[in-house]
């Protein structure tokens, strides 16, 4: 019987540089092409998930290790890298570890900002794309639906989502304190991190009228600007775009400072020192620490916003631990369910075999009474397993003895042979030994 295994190949903020993630990233129009490339290398069930924090493939395959190599080659080609160069930046998991990763992603436990609300919607969008491309099947559907159920539990049973929401609310509060009516402000989003988008969405809902988006990959910035109903600024024009921004949110996380002290000094001079509220929502930081000391620049990172929101770290960690407990419970339940389903064909085959033997016996021995018929049926059903056990017993090798012991343990478990039955068998063996002792009459 063919079995399948879950696997995930991931380039995330935990393993991969922002530059490489940008090269791997896809917009909505490009996802179909990536799914076709996965199909072409023999992966029949898969989704392609591309977000600010990650680009990953979640898949099901009969030979997960081979599939992982093929998927890594597709991803490397997308990034314009060799597989050997990309491989160290990829996170690869198979089996139950892949399932746990998928659940953690759906529950926003693997995001840069734990609890951020975007990832579940992004996962569902990737699911719809895969389904539309014909790359979903019963195994992938089952794990995704279980992940969605776990995410719903985490949202309803823990306060984990409140942390990310409170950070965005804190940013709005500081913006109002600094600028007064934010309906007269303009904002610039630099980079595509989820927390940056969350802050800007909150500002939009609070009345922010003007928004511009810039990112190292212009096509991603254009797509985000459309989604956020804003304007697009080419990366080459970043400094000019900053001049018109009263609120500047950075969320690139490239591992180097995007907003340097000389750049900010030039921007503040052109603004005639009109204040700028800077939110560094990136991990690692986008803003040079020296910027915070400049006249007119008010820099807040995520820890600063957390303090504004009075969101204690202990409370955040407790919520995260509770969410992980739910995930682990859900993963265990999913594994049990799949194991039980996998056993159904074997049970059906055993039942069919028993029924066939019963019919053959009745057809050939219609004149037997119930006692004789059942005794004959038991003998027939036990013939093949008895011969198999005898063959194992005859094999005196260590491997043969180990296989026999394993088979006997499985037999006891499958047929519920309890301790009393085992004791009865041992007693029967002792009786046989006693009868064989010298001087005893063998009847």
The 10 Å CB-count burial string (b at 16+, else e) for 388-419 is eeeebeeeeeeeeeeebeeeeeeeeeeeeeee
Fold of the domain spanning 5-157+318-337: Beta Polymerase; domain 2 (3.30.460)
Residue 243 annotated as lining a ligand binding site: no
Residue 89 annotated as lining a ligand binding site: no
Name the maximum alpha-carbon separation found in the chain.
Answer: 117
Residue 304 annotated as lining a ligand binding site: no
Ranges of the chain whose pLDDT falls below 50: 1-2, 311-313, 440-443
**Do 46 and 34 touch, CB atoms closer than 8 A?**
no
The per-residue pLDDT for 201 is 86
Residue 367 annotated as lining a ligand binding site: no
pTM of the model: 0.67
What is the Cα–Cα distance from 54 to 111, expressed in whole angstroms?
Answer: 9
Architecture, CATH, for domain 185-301: 3-Layer(aba) Sandwich (3.40)
The per-residue pLDDT for 436 is 55
Which tokens sit at 403? 């296989």
Residue 16 annotated as lining a ligand binding site: no
What is the Cα–Cα distance from 303 to 305, expressed in whole angstroms?
Answer: 5
Domain ranges of the chain: 5-157+318-337, 185-301, 365-431
Q: Where are the beta strands (DSSP E) in 291-400?
A: 297-301
Residue 122 annotated as lining a ligand binding site: yes
Partnered with residue 299 across adjacent β-strands are 278
The per-residue pLDDT for 209 is 93
Q: How, if at all, do strands 45-50 and 54-61 pair?
A: antiparallel
Catalytic one of 10, 52, 107, 185: 52
- Cα angle: 422, vertex 425, 430; to 5 degrees: 125
The per-residue pLDDT for 224 is 86
What is the Cα–Cα distance from 303 to 134, expressed in whole angstroms?
Answer: 44
Mark whether 52 is an active-site residue: yes
Which residues are within 8 A (CB) of 91 and not within 5 positions of it... i.e. 6 or more apart? 8, 9, 10, 11, 12, 14, 15, 56, 101
**Do 98 and 8 touch, CB atoms closer than 8 A?**
yes
């Amino acid at each position: 019987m063919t079995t399948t295994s879950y696997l995930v190949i991931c380039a995330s903020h935990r393993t991969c540089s922002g530059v490489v993630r940008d090269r791997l990233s896809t917009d909505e129009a490009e996802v179909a092409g990536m799914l076709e490339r996965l199909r072409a290398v023999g992966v029949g069930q898969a989704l392609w998930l591309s977000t600010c924090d990650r680009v990953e493939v979640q898949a099901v395959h009969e030979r997960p290790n081979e599939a992982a190599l093929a998927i890594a080659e597709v991803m490397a080609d997308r990034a314009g890298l060799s597989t050997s160069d990309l491989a160290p930046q990829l996170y690869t998991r198979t089996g139950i570890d892949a399932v746990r990763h998928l659940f953690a992603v759906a529950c926003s436990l693997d995001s840069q900002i734990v609890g951020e609300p975007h990832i579940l919607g992004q996962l569902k969008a990737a699911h719809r794309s895969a389904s539309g491309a014909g790359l979903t099947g019963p195994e992938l559907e089952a794990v995704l639906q279980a992940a969605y159920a776990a995410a719903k539990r985490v949202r309803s049973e823990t306060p984990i989502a409140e942390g990310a929401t409170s950070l965005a609310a804190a940013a709005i509060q500081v913006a109002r304190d600094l600028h007064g009516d934010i309906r007269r402000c303009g904002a610039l989003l630099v980079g595509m991190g989820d927390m940056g988008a969350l802050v800007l969405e909150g500002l939009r809902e609070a009345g922010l009228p003007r928004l511009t988006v810039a990112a190292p990959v212009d096509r991603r910035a254009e797509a985000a600007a459309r989604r956020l109903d804003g304007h697009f600024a080419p990366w080459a024009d970043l400094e000019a775009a900053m001049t018109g921004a009263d609120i500047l949110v950075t969320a690139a996380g490239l591992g180097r400072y995007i907003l340097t002290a000389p750049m900010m000094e030039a921007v503040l001079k052109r603004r005639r020192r009109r204040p700028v509220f800077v939110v560094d929502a990136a991990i690692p930081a986008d803003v040079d620490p020296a910027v915070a000391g400049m006249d007119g620049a008010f820099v807040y990172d995520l820890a600063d916003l957390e303090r504004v929101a009075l969101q204690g770290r202990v409370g955040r960690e407790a919520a995260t631990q509770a969410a992980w407990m739910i995930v682990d419970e859900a993963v265990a339940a999913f594994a049990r369910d799949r194991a039980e389903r996998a056993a159904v064909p074997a049970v059906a085959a055993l039942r069919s075999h028993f029924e066939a033997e019963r019919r053959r016996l009745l057809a050939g021995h219609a004149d037997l009474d119930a006692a004789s018929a059942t005794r004959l049926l038991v003998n027939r059903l036990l013939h093949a397993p008895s011969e198999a056990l005898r063959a194992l017993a005859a094999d005196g090798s260590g491997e043969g003895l180990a296989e026999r012991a394993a088979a006997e343990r499985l037999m006891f478990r499958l047929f519920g042979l309890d301790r009393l039955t085992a004791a009865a068998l041992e007693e029967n063996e002792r009786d046989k030994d006693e009868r064989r002792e010298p001087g005893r009459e063998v009847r």
